[in-house]
A and B are shown apart, each in its own frame.
Chain A
């Protein structure tokens, strides 16, 4: 079975902190994604990566950056966390059609 893991289920940070959300997949997938999930808005794509060290902006990249130094790991970075970044963050990976999701990180920024 494909397994996508995320470093934390719940995270509480303060405004202005630098925040790292880690995602690891164990199926050698080329593509990895970071989404943000908010009530009434569904999932919105922040960034995605189709290869090591490659990244593409999604629909809402502002305030975020990403890093993919190894194929299995895709990190989402909040350079200076703000309260409007309080949300659920979902990581996913895919080889072709189906995306496999991690369990999500619920981030609260105070």
Chain B
């Protein structure tokens, strides 16, 4: 079974600075997907960014980028130019590419609460 670990329960950053959230995972599979989801105080989960394991290039979405290290099974999220609206709980998630073994289910990490200080 796959596991996802987020070792930072809480992080804080100054507005306009850069912060990196860590995520490690354990799997015996070679093909899979990794995600970062954001849950603001409204509780509405929003997809931030996605990475396909077969792609060597790190995914980027505007101010959000990932550092995907497949051999190390590490998937960190970097938020540049942090804004007050980035304050939220961030979850790392894993999805197998093999539908027959686990369907389209996600396995989530424990979450990291990000505070953005003005």
The answer to whether A31 and B104 have CB atoms under 8 Å apart is: yes
Q: Cβ of A42: which chain B residues have Cβ within 8 Å of it? A: 4, 6, 91, 108-111
A interface residues, tally (CB under 8 Å): 24
Q: How far is the CA of A48 from the CA of B95 in the complex (A)?
A: 14
Name the segment of A14-22, A63-71, A73-81, A91-99 touching the other chain: A91-99
Q: Cβ of B42: which chain A residues have Cβ within 8 Å of it? A: 103
B interface residues, tally (CB under 8 Å): 22
B106 at the interface (CB under 8 A from A): yes
The answer to whether B50 and A97 have CB atoms under 8 Å apart is: yes
The answer to whether A103 and B91 have CB atoms under 8 Å apart is: no
Q: Cβ of A96: which chain B residues have Cβ within 8 Å of it? A: 104
The answer to whether B50 and A98 have CB atoms under 8 Å apart is: yes
Chain A to chain B contacts (Cβ below 8 Å), 25 pairs: A33-B105, A35-B108, A40-B110, A42-B4, A42-B108, A42-B109, A42-B110, A43-B106, A43-B108, A44-B108, A45-B105, A45-B107, A48-B104, A56-B103, A58-B105, A88-B43, A92-B45, A97-B95, A97-B104, A98-B47, A98-B50, A99-B106, A103-B42, A103-B44, A104-B43
